[in-house]
Structure 1
Amino acid sequence: MKTNFRLLFSAAVILLATSCVSNKKFQSLQADYNTLQGRSNALFKENQDCQSNLGAANVKIAGLQDQLQAERAHVQSLQSALDKCLTSTSQGNVNISKLVDEINASNKYIQELIASKNKSDSLNMVLTNNLTRSLSREEMQDVDVQVLKGVVYISLSDNMLYKSGSYEISDKANETLSKIAKIIKDYKDFEVLIEGNTDNVPISKPNIRNNWDLSTLRASSVVQALQNNFGVDPKRLTAGGRGEYNPVASNDTEAGRMQNRRTQIIITPKLDQFMELINQAPASDSTGTK
């Protein structure tokens, strides 16, 4: 466009040089030229500005393209993470399902244990009631009956069984032993262990060396009383002594020593006999004593 203006200007000069042109006409042409020259300069500047803006736009486009590429990579990364998360969640659901099954199985097992314990407690209570039915309230003060894991422990105090400092059976013990013998004979298939226990106070008797001797002799006295006086089969009976080494209370007090001086009658039923005990009670003795 600038070249065209130059050509036009040159043509105007030639025309002025070759012909006679009025001053007024020349001034008009000069003004037109100046106007065209101004427009040419403005267009040139506008073109430069456009070129500059185009360069800036290209730079911005390149930046946006880089940003777009980075965003695409970020989206791919997020998609990959999402896929892994979905896979993990699916596996987690499987694990949770397995865990729920295990918890349910565990709860079922716990309920079975509770039911079994309740049944065991009920059987123990029935067995205890059956074994103590023939004992009077006064006798129960010197007799403690417990059932632990299917084994019956009848604990008799030495005050009730023996004469003081002796292994001889006292007269008042015979009535209680007769009732315990009745219980033992009613359950004739049970094994019976008579176990003597003492406190830790040394014994001072010419015919008794120590508490081992005393506990064993006391157990033997009960065994012989059950056999000779009350007709219990001796094949079912075992006498043993544990001396002072199986305490149930502290020997530091008189009350504790009194608890430790005891004789236990341990009756061991067979498992298949437990169910029979539920409906079976010891037969009443001839005097009708309960």
Structure 2
Amino acid sequence: IVTGNKTKKIAGKKVESILNDDGYNVHTIEIGAATNENVKKVKKTAKEIKAGFLLGVGGGSKIDVAKICAKNLGKPFISVPTSASHDGIASPKASIKGGVSVDAVVPLGIIADTSIIAKAPYRMLASGCADVISNLTAVKDWVLGHKLRNETFSTSASTLSEMSARVVMENADMIKPGLEESVWIVIKPLIESGASMCIAGSSRPTSGSEHLFSHALDRIAPNKALHGEQCGVGAIMMMYLHDGDWEEIRYALKKIGAPVNAKQLGIKKEDIVKALVMANRVRKDRYTILGDNGLSADAAEKLAKTTEVI
């Protein structure tokens, strides 16, 4: 079991107890952030004890580390999230500190106890909603990549990804702090969002220009906002570039209580502009609405002002 100090108390001990009662020989390791050092530490321990499978119990970082180790060791992985801040709880991708996304293993199962997730800070759930809503611009970017770069495209994966976003947006009125019912609404689209990546064999259905903007922010203004929050704000601006209904995205995020501008993200206006200019260079292999040359500083500033992000 890969968990953290807090998450062990929240769910780790319970998972350990259930497995012990069923006759499993359980080893629990506590880690902090999703770093290469922690990946090495978990991998070394899992090898030493000849682990049959790995469980990630906690938030994104614990799940990501367990997922990467399971991939490297060729072992099954089970995801046990204690919060729902992004679609990584069910995806075959993982993020290492520094904004690097790597291939991991598809979870064998996801055990999402809504009563536990409902106790996590509401900001986490709102961030998860924003991450799923941002699928709308990711799919539009994927269509561009398919048409202009002849990228492989999956209708089933794109439909599942868009449907996940629509479910969250259509139920925005019902997603509120302190309600377990809110978690019921959000958790399924989050899992389906992760599943769309499994179908596509890449993160394409859920990661486009809005994610490139978020990764650029991670480098320019690290640890200021949550991943999903940044992607939500990115989606507002990228939908404007796609000539889509960016106001619909902004309205849904506001209703849910997710950030819609730089101030709410806790990020300086000039850093938003810098991230927009840098975004297309984050992943050269990923074609998006930002094109090959990206945005000029003037165009980036105008975009952020028009969409009320700055």
TM-based fold match above 0.5: no
**TM-score, L = length of structure 1:** 0.25
Q: From the CA coordinates, give the structure whose radius of gyration is larger.
A: 1
With normalisation by structure 2, the TM-score equals 0.24
